[in-house]
């Protein structure tokens, strides 16, 4: 049996199954609920029950004062819903609210998509889910291997499993030659402010450049997990042959959601357009840019020009976000 949980003051609503804790269901629904240990020790996931009934399903070392108990305080990680709930809980929305973390994790899987592209899946210890906002990056360090800063491609709704897009390059050949399942990896972060702005009912435009699709994927999956119904538009640009290595996945979004537009664009020399021509075309095709939130991963050499082009087209600077990527 499932129940509904509404969170105040945000008004977000999510469904919770009888086998889930309030925290598990909220994270699965894409809410940035605060948590620390996840096992009832730290008290970070505290909330206040305003309406409904809950049942404790996990022993908790953290204890509320008698006054807090009278106010309805409870730990979301240790309780499940036995009726529909109305709760009061803080939702993390600022980069500064995410704590710096250092976690020793393990390589869970290497998923080869193409000869020179694979997805690295990293599994966190069960007691240490990683907290981050969609679009952020981390530092990955391997013993006797490379240390790289990579954007997280997965949704924050599952902090136990992080995924990263790896394109074969001289500095990361290690990922293609000898990295095995079970290898320990130190995860340090998160870093970066390429994150979603508060939902304001606006359509969102995403433009990804080559493997800069990774943080864009994280953003889009988070929007979908939250259940927002505003139109989403994605352009994926690449000058590498077969550079749209997850195009079928993008098309599945388009097929599943009526208000989702997806276009893969081959840039010169593979296609007929260069970066600037495509950006100018997007501006012509999207006359209501002033009413959209924009999220762009762009080559460093084109970043300033791209920002100026969109601002000249009427985009609000407060609704424009860019992830600058070095050309390799």
8 Å CB contact between 135 and 70: no
8 Å CB contact between 36 and 132: no
* Contacts (Cβ under 8 Å, ≥6 apart) of 75: 40, 43, 45, 46, 47, 60, 62
Instruction: Quote the CA–CA distance of 58 and 281 in Å, as a whole number.
Output: 55
Instruction: Please tell me the predicted confidence (pLDDT) of residue 291.
Output: 86
- DSSP-assigned states of every residue in 53-85: -EEE-S--S----HHHHHTTEEEGGGEEESS-E
The DSSP call for residue 102 is E
* Prior bond of 12 cis (ω within 30°): no
The DSSP call for residue 273 is B
In order of their start, the domains of the chain are: 2-88 (3.10.20.30), 95-191 (2.40.30.10), 203-325 (3.40.50.80)
Instruction: Please tell me the predicted confidence (pLDDT) of residue 132.
Output: 94
Strands 73-75 and 46-51, by their bridges, are antiparallel
Instruction: Quote the CA–CA distance of 211 and 231 in Å, as a whole number.
Output: 23
8 Å CB contact between 316 and 295: no
Work out the number of other CB atoms within 10 angstroms of the CB of residue 152.
Answer: 27
Strands 46-51 and 85-88, by their bridges, are antiparallel
Q: E-assigned strands of the chain?
A: 2-8, 13-17, 46-51, 54-56, 73-75, 79-81, 85-88, 101-114, 117-123, 137-141, 147-151, 161-167, 184-191, 203-209, 232-238, 260-266, 292-299, 320-325
Instruction: Indicate the pTM of the whole model.
Output: 0.88
Instruction: Please tell me the predicted confidence (pLDDT) of residue 328.
Output: 63
Return the ∠ at Cα 66 (arms to 17 and 22), rounded to 5°.
10
One digit per residue, pLDDT tens: the chain, 328 residues?
899 999 999 888 999 999 999 999 998 888 889 888 778 888 999 999 999 999 999 998 999 999 999 999 999 999 999 999 999 999 888 899 898 999 999 999 999 999 999 999 999 998 788 999 999 999 999 987 778 999 999 999 888 999 999 999 888 888 888 789 999 999 999 999 999 987 667 899 999 999 999 999 999 999 998 887 889 999 999 999 989 999 999 999 999 998 999 999 999 999 999 999 999 999 999 888 888 999 999 999 999 999 999 999 999 999 999 999 986 6
Instruction: Quote the CA–CA distance of 18 and 25 in Å, as a whole number.
Output: 10
Strands 292-299 and 79-81, by their bridges, are unpaired
* Residue found by looking up tokens 């995860």 in the block: 187
* Contacts (Cβ under 8 Å, ≥6 apart) of 148: 139, 140, 171, 172
8 Å CB contact between 207 and 296: yes
Instruction: Quote the CA–CA distance of 141 and 120 in Å, as a whole number.
Output: 13
* Contacts (Cβ under 8 Å, ≥6 apart) of 68: none
Instruction: Quote the CA–CA distance of 129 and 292 in Å, as a whole number.
Output: 33
Strands 232-238 and 260-266, by their bridges, are parallel
């Amino acid at each position: 049996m499932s129940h509904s949980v509404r969170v105040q003051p945000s008004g977000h609503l999510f469904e919770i199954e009888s086998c889930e804790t309030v925290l598990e269901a909220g994270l699965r629904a894409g809410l940035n609920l605060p948590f620390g240990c996840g096992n009832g020790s730290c008290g970070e996931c505290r909330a206040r029950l305003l309406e409904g009934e809950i049942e404790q399903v996990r022993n908790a070392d953290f204890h509320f004062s008698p006054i807090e108990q009278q106010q309805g305080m409870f730990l979301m990680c240790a309780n499940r819903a036995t009726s529909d709930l109305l709760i009061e809980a803080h939702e993390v929305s600022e980069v500064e609210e995410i704590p710096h973390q250092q976690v020793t994790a393990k390589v869970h899987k290497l998923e080869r998509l193409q000869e020179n592209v694979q997805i690295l899946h990293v599994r966190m210890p069960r007691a240490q889910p990683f907290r981050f906002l969609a679009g952020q990056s981390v530092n990955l360090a391997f013993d006797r291997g490379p240390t790289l800063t990579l954007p997280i491609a997965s949704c924050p709704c599952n902090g136990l499993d992080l995924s990263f897009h790896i394109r074969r390059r001289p500095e990361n050949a290690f990922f293609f030659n000898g990295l095995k399942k079970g290898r320990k990896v130190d995860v340090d972060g998160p870093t970066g402010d390429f994150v979603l702005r508060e939902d304001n009912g606006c359509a969102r435009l995403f433009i990804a450049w080559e493997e800069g699709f990774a943080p864009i994927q994280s953003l889009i999956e988070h929007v979908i997990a939250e259940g927002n119904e505003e139109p989403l538009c994605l352009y994926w640009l690449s000058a590498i042959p077969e550079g749209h290595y997850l195009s079928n996945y993008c098309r599945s979004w388009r097929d599943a959601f009526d208000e989702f537009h997806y276009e893969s664009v081959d840039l010169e020399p593979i296609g007929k357009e260069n970066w600037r021509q495509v950006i100018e075309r997007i501006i012509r095709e999207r006359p209501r840019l002033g009413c959209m939130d924009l999220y762009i991963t762009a080559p460093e050499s084109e970043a300033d020009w791209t920002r100026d082009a969109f601002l000249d087209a009427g985009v609000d600077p407060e609704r424009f976000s860019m992830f600058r990527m070095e050309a390799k």
